[in-house]
Amino acid sequence: MKGNGVKVEEMQRMPFGTMFTFYDQDGNEYILREDK
């Protein structure tokens, strides 16, 4: 995603799974989460 110019925050590893935040071209925030 970073290679295509998308603003992406660092991946966070939590006890319940992994998640990261990214933003679209309008600045809207999205969270992608994968549960264990």
Going by pLDDT thresholds of 50, 70 and 90, the confidence category of residue 27 is very high
d(CA 26, CA 17): 28
pLDDT, position 6: 95
Residues 6+ apart with CB under 8 A from 11: 18, 19, 20
Amino acid identity at 29: E
| Mean pLDDT computed over every residue of the chain | 96
Dump pLDDT digits (tens) for 3-19. 999 999 999 999 999 99
**Any idea what the Cα angle at residue 17 is, between residues 27 and 6, rounded to 5°?**
25
